[in-house]
Structure 1
């Protein structure tokens, strides 16, 4: 059978021989139905946990999430467009917080294309604005220990008292 010859050997050995193509396809369908369920679970987990990290553009990020939703639809799990919009908003980092607040306060609901256009504009605005951050490093007051000379023991630093003249010195 020609169809059997076009299948990889590791899969071919697990499939029983059939006389008709119809029987053969039914067997293949039954065998790989559980793989579809597993793939759907994996795709759904990836869609719900995906985060925008800025390594690629916003447009590519939204396209990838839309492609995952399309794959889920092909497997029989239709992702509503409003859910997809919410998944995209949830995948955004903290810099997009004001954008999310704005979206939540308006009455209109955007579709994926409108959201993509707005987010690309927001990405451009954030890049132009730049990231302003300061890394503060402080060092506490240290008491100086002097390295002892050969043959002498190290002495602790002398404490100067503010209120009395001859205390501890």
Structure 2
């Protein structure tokens, strides 16, 4: 009975991908899960693309913008892809408009690398 209710509520295009031999709701849901399993590679690619393509357009708070970039970097790290804080700093710098060029020059002239918090405070 449950299986019939579940099948009824799922679009037919999805139902057709599942074997008719399945007789229980548990088997049906397990089979559906196999077809729609999350791909870490795809998620990593999507996150990397959004991080690399980000550009600060001067609207909104620059701190929030940098924190958004940091959040994406954290998600990438959680997917077991190494992304150093130094690389993130450079990605932030190249994503900022020309009005932040003095900041980029200052960063590149320093021997020390800035932490994310230091970076945010200098930007603000």
TM-score normalised by L of structure 1: 0.55
Aligned 1:1-169 pairs, distance under 5 A:
9-10=10-11, 13=15, 14=17, 17=22, 24=30, 28=33, 31-33=36-38, 35-120=39-124
Higher relative CO (Cα under 8 Å, sequence separation at least 6) belongs to 2
1:69–1:78 Cα contact (<8 Å) kept: no
Relative distance call for 1:56 and 1:32 in structure 2 (3 A) is same
How many Å separate the matches in 2 of 1:18 and 1:59?
Answer: 54
Give the superposed CA RMSD.
3.0
Higher helix share: 2
Larger Rg: 1
* C-alpha distance after superposition, 1:98-138 (max 9, x if no partner): 11101100111011111011111xxxxxxxxxxxxxxxxxx
Q: Which runs of 5+ in 2 are unaligned?
A: none
Q: Which runs of 5+ in 1 are unaligned?
A: 121-169
State how many pairs are aligned.
113
Relative distance call for 1:30 and 1:70 in structure 2 (3 A) is farther
